Structures are given as structure tokens and as C-alpha cells.
Amino acid sequence: MKFALGIEYDGSKFAGWQMQKHGTRTVQECVEIALSSVANQPVQVVCAGRTDTGVHAVGQVVHFECDSPRQEKAWVMGVNTQLPDDVSSIWAQPVAEDFSARFSATARQYRYIILNRQARPAVLNKKVTWKHGGFNVEAMHQAAQALLGEQDFTSFRSSACQAEHAMRNVHWVNVSREGDYIYIDIKANAFLHHMVRNIVGSLIMVGQEVKAVSWMADLMRCKDRNQAGPTAPADGLYLVNVSYPQESGIISTINLPRYA
């Protein structure tokens, strides 16, 4: 049978999602070891989106195939007994044979959290990105609207990106503030390597009024990564949801991390 799992994890102590040849700690490795233990056979997983070192997730989705007869709760409760404290299986369900956590997905949603105050974080260290000084959040929101629609995101693509092209369709972007926390929410059909963090790095410059609101539109037109802002730290980034067609049967609730 084929199953889908909802996974959440604190990415602080992981070298990203994907298994590494040189033996560094990855989320994929932890999940596969736990599933293989419960299934009593080797299990490999495919994820909806490969997160980078230090990036968190509350809405990651994976699929796997297994011949072992197990109830759905075994893929949650049983697997969680085999997982480290910073990874958790939060739901499980059988899916059709042609379902793919990656290729069946129609959209991914991320949230980036900035703590904007004078003092650095302690409890939320590695869970948010800390920036002090003034921020014009309304300007950030206005600038971000230049990203909407299907466009070429070369200006926000890392040099290590292996995607065939830089065309992506951003459904919406919202920048808001609650107390000391700035939230940058973005949903798109898919994302390039470091795309969200590169976008955030440029929006921070707009928020600090180093750059004008119109600058984001200029970056989209010039298609030059060297002209955009620096890559924002991984600490504040969360994969919060993956969307699938209704016929897949997967309705994953959006669990946005919020600290205000």
C-alpha cells in the first residue's frame, strides 16, 4: 500500500531534509529509520519540498510504499516512538497508487518570521530571525505584490539551483506585523532553491528603507541575482502547508507558527 504522512520538525539541528552522502544528520534519514522500524522492512520516502539546513516545517508531506499491514495510527503513534524529539509524524492516510507527495502537489506555502526588537531572542533562538531598528511593514507588503503571478524568478534563484527554469507562479504574498513579530507569508505552485529566503532578504532592505517599494519590480525585470538583496537566514523559515487536488483525499490543515 501507499501512504502519505504529515511531518513537522525543528530544522535547527538538521542539515536539511535530504539524505546526505557524508553522513550529516537529515530529517529524511530520521523519518526513514523510524518508518522502517515500525514496518519491519526498509522504507524510503518522497517529500513534497526539500527544505534546507536550519529550515523548519509544520506541514511537510511525504509518501511511502510498504507491504506490512499496519493501521494508520501505527504510522503516527508508533513512528513517533522511534523519532527524535525534534521530528513528529502528525497524521497518516492511505493514498492512491498514482499519488506523489511531490508531483501531485499543486502549491506550497511558507511563513517567514522576523523578531523586530532591540534585544535578541533567547527562547526563540533559531526559531525566528532577529532584526532590530525600524521597519516599514506596509512598504514591504506593497513591494511584495510585484511577485504575483507566473514570472521568471531568476533574481531570487540561488547559484546552486538545479531547476530546469526559473518560471514560478506566486499565488499571493502577505507581509504583516503583530507586536514585535513580522510575518511574511507566501504561496506558490513551487519554489526555487533559496527563493523564499532571497525574496525575504530583499524585502528586509525595503522594510529598512534602504530600497524603494519599486525596487522589487525592478529586480523581477532585470533577472539578475547579483542585483537583489542577501539571502535571509534559515532560522525564520517554515514550510507550513502543501496543497493537493481534492480527489487525493488529503486536506492538510494550515498550522501557522505564531509567536505574537
Residues with catalytic roles: 52
**CA–CA separation, 196 and 203 (whole Å):** 10
Of 245, 206, 247, 253, nearest to 228 (Cα)? 206
The verdict on whether residue 110 carries a ligand-binding annotation is: yes
Which whole-number Å values give the CA distances from 251 to 6, 9, 66, 107, 174, in the listed order? 11, 19, 22, 13, 23
Instruction: Quote the cell numbers at residue 230.
Output: 542577501
**How far is it, in rounded angstroms, from Cα 33 to Cα 83?**
8
Distance in angstroms (rounded) separating the CA atoms of residues 59 and 224: 31
d(CA 18, CA 20): 6
Which residues does the annotation place in the binding site for substrate? 110
Binding site, residues? 110
